[in-house]
Chains A and B, each alone.
Chain A
Amino acid sequence: KAGVTQTPRYLIKTRGQQVTLSCSPISGHRSVSWYQQTPGQGLQFLFEYFSETQRNKGNFPGRFSGRQFSNSRSEMNVSTLELGDSALYLCASSTRARDSGNTIYFGEGSWLTVV
């Protein structure tokens, strides 16, 4: 069974540009979450999508947005990039099961560098 797949793995953008990151969850997983990891702030929750609806949102500005498609694949977009957006962006998927413990699996991440 394939794991969580994220593309691209590495990218460099210029301040003011926008970026779109893609995530394919594990087959059968309908919950997709996004996290930002930086040396200063650690791992921070961005948002979660389930059945194409945003279910939870972290404390990030509106420049950070996402969406989920009917096949559960998800994209996140960051507009008007700032230097501080340089980070490892991690996608995670799960079944959102309650009865057996909700194991959450992560992809390899997308390294974004803003110059």
Chain B
Amino acid sequence: AQSVTQPDIHITVSEGASLELRCNYSYGATPYLFWYVQSPGQGLQLLLKYFSGDTLVQGIKGFEAEFKRSQSSFNLRKPSVHWSDAAEYFCAVGAMEYGNKLVFGAGTILRVKS
């Protein structure tokens, strides 16, 4: 079965500093990987996704993520965080063998201090 681990429940970063949110997955074959962001009281918005090819993927709002098969990781990064990035971030994994169901991590809450 697929599983997703986001080791950090909360992260606090100063505005302008770099950010890395960790995501590890457990799955035998090549997964499809996603990062979503949720602002308070809102639904989830897709930031980026990885299916195949270049292991560094670019997303919206200046985010990027790198797929590392050897580490079963798909970490999200941003070089310079803005106060508006404060939100909850979810990593998710899917696979054709499991239909179109996604499994989500527990989420990481990002706080940005000025």
Q: Do A and B bind each other?
A: no
Interface of A toward B, CB cutoff 8 Å: none
